[in-house]
Amino acid sequence: MTGFIGKRALASGISLIGLVILVFFLSRLTGDPTNLYLPLDASIEAREQFRQLHGFNDPLIVQFGRYVMDLAQGDFGESLQQARPAMEVVLQAFGWTLRLALITMTCVTVAAIVIGSLAAFKVGGIFDRIATFFSLVGASAPDFWLAIVAIVIFAVNLHWLPTSGTGTPWHWVLPVAVLFVRPFGLILQVVRGSMITTLSSAYVKTARAKGVRTRSIIFVHGLRNAMLPVITVIGDQAAAILNGAVVIETIFGFPGIGKLMIDSILLRDFSVVLASIMISAVAIFIMNLLIDIAYAMLDPRIRY
Amino acid sequence: MTDTRIQSDPKPRGPFTTWLSMLWADKLAFFAALFLLVALLCAIFGPWLMGDLATKQNLRGRNAPPFDLARGWLMILGADALGRPLLPRIVVAAQNTLMVAGAAVLCSAVVGCGLGLIAGYSRKRAAQWIMRLGDVIMSFPSLLLAVIVLYMLEPSVANIVLVLAITRIPVYLRTTRAEVLEVRERMFVQAARVMGASDRRIIFRHILPVVLPTLLTIATLDFAFVMLAESSLSFLGIGIQPPEITWGLMVAQGREYLTTAWWLSFWPGLAIIGTTLSLNLLSNWMRIALDPAQRWRLEMRGRKND
């Protein structure tokens, strides 16, 4: 197991290094942040001083060398926008996104598994058809459109829910509900497909013939064995939210990592961009590791 | 004596009719195909037929509400902030929306499939490199890549297609490779090799036809995904730029008028859902129709089982 984790960490580490190098140079090519941060009428000396202070005058390769040296000492640079250490800014935003992802994915997983299993139990029945249709619609709906429709209905017309911020639990309802829809549709389809295959296998038929109760056939015999493909999709969807639900976070003014990433790219806050890429990469790595461990726990035949 | 002969069809049917009747057997897929056909026709002929109507401003009809026939049938879906009727705008926007997604899917499918065939067939150093390349692309947050590249290179149609195509290559690469690894061990491939067929002949005449149906199904599904991605980019303002229009951009433009004119964002969003839903339904149907082991489900449907 440790050998497996080590190999994975090495592979991820190498691609992360490549990624950081690529983004470092690509983002520098988008232009000089000086004009964005100083007022239009700032004197040439002030501009020069700003560039000097943040080291934008040196050749790119020197800037990169300095960045790597700082990184080796655990310094991720400073956010131009907030004048705080970049890592602090990123971790704070990541905390918000992590909570958002956890809440959403918990709801999605429970709902999709219960409804998907019940749909698979009677294929072609009325419940199955309704569930399948709604999962397809859910998987097809663009999240930004759902967000807008939800805002119009629940915030503008009914005045039930607030549209942006994170102050009270009520603020979380709309973002979670909108983020819920697509993963729910996708995971429900996988649960249903996988359950249909499992429920037609010999040991389920045996259990049925022995007179085991329906509920325990579905949730004990069926579900555990149908979970492997489901876990992969859950992981993918969770990773997508962790990677920044950019659009949703932007619409609802949610201070998560997706919004931070896009803001810092637009404002050329390079250290924050790089720090948030590293944090997402680490999060995705841990996520994939957890999925592999879950695999091994569910299916004793899997060894690493 | 009972008649045990299998009743055969009175006349042999051509391949086109066969496919059509298989499509008809799955009603949802049939209507999905119909919807996509209409969308496609809009994309091809829309700008030519309605191009002028879609850009004609009419300040007296600003944010005109939908379902008001007094202004003529073109205004049935309402009008936008400059009084341009929404129906023709949606029809015209179909072209950009479908073209960007179609081009991106085509590029990524061709490149991904080509690389996947090499990676699956050769098993050499090159294969390792190709797979690592796929992993790197996969580990990159694709929207972030899109943002950086589009911010740097000016958001033009070609660049958007390029970015979307690159991020989707791994999907085809991995699927093709996995299929090739399995197919290359089958008997007919071995036989072809023993008979002295060249590598190129084996790949294109024996392996590719087996892999192609799977790829077609995935490409259909992916078309929906790419369309949503393009819409998100346009929505964030780094996709297609005005005065060009796509459905995603129309949703974004309507956002400002959310409190007063919901229809500005609603209809284009509905067009996106309709198209992606149809693609999903059609892809489900294709998965069955292109699989010889499952095709009977569609061929038997509607006929009595006696």
Give residues 1 to 30 of A whose Cβ lies within 8 Å of B. 11-12, 15-16, 18-19, 23, 26-27, 29-30
pLDDT in tens, A102-131: 999 999 999 998 888 888 877 777 888 888
Residues carrying CATH 1.10.3720.10, chain A: 87-303
Q: Is domain B101-305 classified as CATH 1.10.3720.10?
A: yes
**Tens of pLDDT along B198-257?**
888 888 888 888 888 888 888 888 888 888 888 888 877 777 777 788 888 888 888 777
- Count Cβ atoms below 10 Å from residue A126 Cβ, excluding itself: 8
Query: Which of A144, A244, A266 lies at the smallest CB-CB distance from B251?
Result: A144
Q: Specify the residue for token string 């902030």.
A: B81
pLDDT band at A9 (very low <50, low <70, confident <90, very high): confident
pLDDT tens, residue by residue, B94-141: 888 888 889 999 999 999 888 888 888 876 777 777 877 777 777 666
| Mean pLDDT across chain B | 78
Tokens 């009677």 correspond to A122
The sign one gets for the Cα dihedral B252, B255, B256, B257 is positive
Nearest to A23 among B148, B266, B272 (CB): B148
The answer to whether the Cβ–Cβ distance between A141 and B140 falls below 8 Å is no
Least confident of A9-13, A250-254, B50-54: B50-54
What is the C-alpha separation between A225 and A228, in angstroms, rounded?
7
Q: Which two tokens stand for residue B28?
A: 């949802």
C-alpha B262: how far from chain center:
28
How confident is the model at residue A107, as a pLDDT?
92
Count how many pairs of residues, chain A against chain B, have C-beta atoms within 8 Å.
100
Distance between CA atoms of A127 and A185, rounded to whole angstroms? 15
pLDDT band at B305 (very low <50, low <70, confident <90, very high): very low
pLDDT for A132 equals: 85
Closest chain A C-alpha to B198 CA, distance in angstroms:
36
**Given this model, what pLDDT does residue B4 score?**
56
CB B66 within 8 A of CB B76: yes
> What type of residue is A206?
T
Distance between CA atoms of B5 and A298, rounded to whole angstroms?
51
The Cα A257–Cα A279 span in angstroms is 9
Q: Quick one: angle between helices B263-289 and B208-236, nearest 10?
A: 170
CA dist., res. A87 & res. A96, Å (int):
14
CATH number among 3.30.1180.20, 3.50.50.60, 1.10.3720.10, 3.20.20.80, domain A87-303? 1.10.3720.10
Instruction: Pinpoint the alpha helices (H) of A122-201.
Output: 126-140, 143-150, 169-199
Minimal Cα distance from B251: which residue of A? A145
Contact B232 A144 (CB under 8 A): yes
Confidence band (pLDDT; 50, 70, 90) for B306? very low
Residues constituting chain A = 304
What's residue B214's pLDDT? Answer: 81
Contact between A107 and A176 (Cβ < 8 Å)? yes
Instruction: Specify the pLDDT at position A42.
Output: 72
- Does residue A10 carry a pLDDT above 50? yes
Question: Is the backbone of residue A74 left (phi > 0), alpha (psi -120 to 50) or beta?
Answer: left
* A302 pLDDT above the threshold of 70: no
Which stretches within chain A are classed as H helix? 2-28, 34-37, 44-54, 60-72, 86-121, 126-140, 143-150, 169-199, 202-210, 214-216, 223-242, 246-251, 257-266, 270-298
Q: How far apart are CA B274 and CA A89, in angstroms?
A: 40
Residue B272 with chain A: CB contacts under 8 Å: 142, 145
| Assembly ipTM | 0.73
* Dihedral pair phi/psi, residue A123, rounded to 5°: -65, 135
Measured between alpha carbons, how far is A198 from A190 in angstroms, rounded to an integer?
12
| Residue showing tokens 């979307």 | B164
Torsion of CA B167, B146, A187, A129, to 10 degrees: -90
In the beta sheet, which residues pair with residue B159? none
Mutate to test the interface with B, among A15, A97, A148 (most CBs of B within 10 A): A148
Find out whether the peptide bond into A142 is cis, omega within 30 degrees of 0: no
Find which of B147, B279, B297 to mutate to test the A interface (most A CBs within 10 Å of its CB).
B147
A62-97 per-position pLDDT tens digit: 888 888 888 788 777 777 777 788 888 888 888 888
The chain A residue lying nearest B227, using CA atoms, is: A142
Task: Look at residue B275 and tell me whether its pLDDT is greater than 80.
Answer: yes
Query: Strand, helix or coil at A85?
Result: strand
Angle at A34 between CA A31 and CA A39, to 5 degrees: 130
